Amino acid sequence: MPSLNGNSAVNGSSKFLDYRSAVETLNEYKSRDGLCIEDLVDTKQRGGLTYNDFLILPGYIGFPASEVVLDSPITKRISLKTPFVSSPMDTVTEHEMAIHMALQGGLGVIHHNCSPEAQADMIRKVKRYENGFIVDPVVISKETTIGEAKALKEKWGFGGFPVTESGKLGSKLLGIVTNRDLQFEDALSQAVDKVMVTELVTAQLGVTLPEANKILAKSRKGKLPIVDKDFNLVSMISRSDLTKNLHFPLASKLPDSKQLICAAAIGTRPEDKVRLKKLVDAGLDIVILDSSQGNSMYQIDMIKWIKQEYPGLDVIGGNVVTREQAANLIAAGVDGLRIGMGSGSACITQEVMAVGRPQAAAVYSVSAFAAKFGVPCIADGGVQNVGHIVKGLALGASTVMMGGLLAGTTESPGTSFVSREGKLVKAYRGMGSIDAMQDKKAGAGSKNSQASNAGTARYFSEGDSVLVAQGVSGSVAHRGSIGKFVPYLAAGLKHSMQDCGMRSLKELHESAVNGILRFEVRTASAQLEGGVNMESYEKKLYA
């Protein structure tokens, strides 16, 4: 026995149990440490909670963070490898954001504060970015000029166009015009048949995608045309897609076409039915009905119409924050729900309208109800860091939508500038801000651009003579590329789930429901304690 230097009493007692019985002794307690999810979000006892008002208690770590699975449904039929969604705001998501979110396993929702044609064009760019078999390639004829071919390259963001006799798919293949063929040509009026490649490596109709990929890899060519027995062009595959498959294994893609999954928002006005047709023709996979208050006759009618006209299109309704709101949209046939009202960083709906709900309370209430009908939910708003993402998912959301957190990335359409403090920032505005509601791009030159504006439609203000702001305009810190920022968020989420002892989001949700996952309320002092308490410091989020 080692010598002692004092009294060995602990908590006033010197009689102890056998240390080997510690785990069994837990059975003497009536419940597990902390609160179950129902007690945590009991609004009658605690009022409405936000993400900052509670913590998740740690569990047992019996696996590395790399084994955590983040697969989660975004709709009844479509799942993502990474549960992150970018918001349909005009300073957050256009085609660049949608492409890079999908490549990282998430989803970008293209905003509708633009003309229907511009929105459809963005969807086409997303769908053409990555393919398996390209069944609708951009085809040109031998009479197409070099100038026209260069213009197509500028429009679509890629080169390498097959040349056929008629300039259409299904016609005899004559050659291919590549970037190298056009790069140094300045005779813009010259026909492409003077510079196109005619020595082609092709594959016959009926070849499988793995077989075609092997042929392409061995050929050292950029494109592999697929032809029928008469040498008519049927489809093609691209080497760049092989590279993307290698670099982005988690990419959100359709299993048949291998194209990136694309989502877009629309309103609930009659003209949005015309807009939706253009978007569906462009290849849209998921449509989000964009409204600050989704429980309306306009949205319910639109959901029913879409499900009848486009049964293959998944519909996400919202926004909602109560079971009663959700019930009407579920009954109308939605494939997913978007939760949140007034909790966004650029939103002032709760302040101005006195309507809304604290986000944690809203996410739990709606998600728990929607789960009864197999309807996945998006926690939209109030997300400022990785911890908030974890909490939104723990409360029952299947995915998390972010606006301000992603607005500062390189891929967002916002303008970058240097602030008065000398920091690099990007412009960011709420869709309920006066700036957004007065934007004329959606009107496409019409006399009444306010009636076509996404901001006024979202807040039912199309016909108002005085616009009441429900959002603000400002800026957010520049965060670098989505290519680094989203992997940082995913890694943080995996490590948090490891701390909780959860191997997957499915297990996280099940453990919350059956009481294994435990929570604790944070007092104001606890929130201060959990923050940084230093005179000065530098906060680097990732490296």
Q: Which residues are catalytic?
A: 347, 458
What is the rounded end-to-end Cα distance, in angstroms, of the chain?
48
Other CB atoms within 10 Å distance of the CB of residue 409: 25
Distance CA 260, CA 472 (A): 32
Yes or no: say if 379 and 397 are a contact pair by the CB < 8 Å rule.
yes
Q: Which two tokens stand for residue 80?
A: 């993502």
Yes or no: say if 308 and 496 are a contact pair by the CB < 8 Å rule.
no
Distance CA 247, CA 484 (A): 13
Yes or no: say if 357 and 322 are a contact pair by the CB < 8 Å rule.
yes
169's CB contacts (< 8 A; 6+ apart) are 136, 137, 139, 233, 234, 235
Distance CA 74, CA 363 (A): 15
Q: Which two tokens stand for residue 76?
A: 């009844």
Q: What is the DSSP letter of 204?
A: E
How do strand 286-289 and strand 314-320 relate by DSSP bridges?
parallel
Q: Which two tokens stand for residue 430?
A: 């709420």
Q: Residue 231, by phi and psi: left (phi above 0), alpha (psi -120 to 50) or beta?
A: left
Yes or no: say if 205 and 228 are a contact pair by the CB < 8 Å rule.
yes
| 72, containing H or E segment | strand 72-73
Which stretches of 41-145 are DSSP H helices? 43-46, 95-103, 116-129
Number of helices (H), then strands (E), in the chain: 21, 21
Q: Is 459 helix (H, G, I), strand (E, B) or coil?
A: coil
Cis peptide before 319 (omega within 30 of 0): yes
Distance CA 436, CA 205 (A): 49
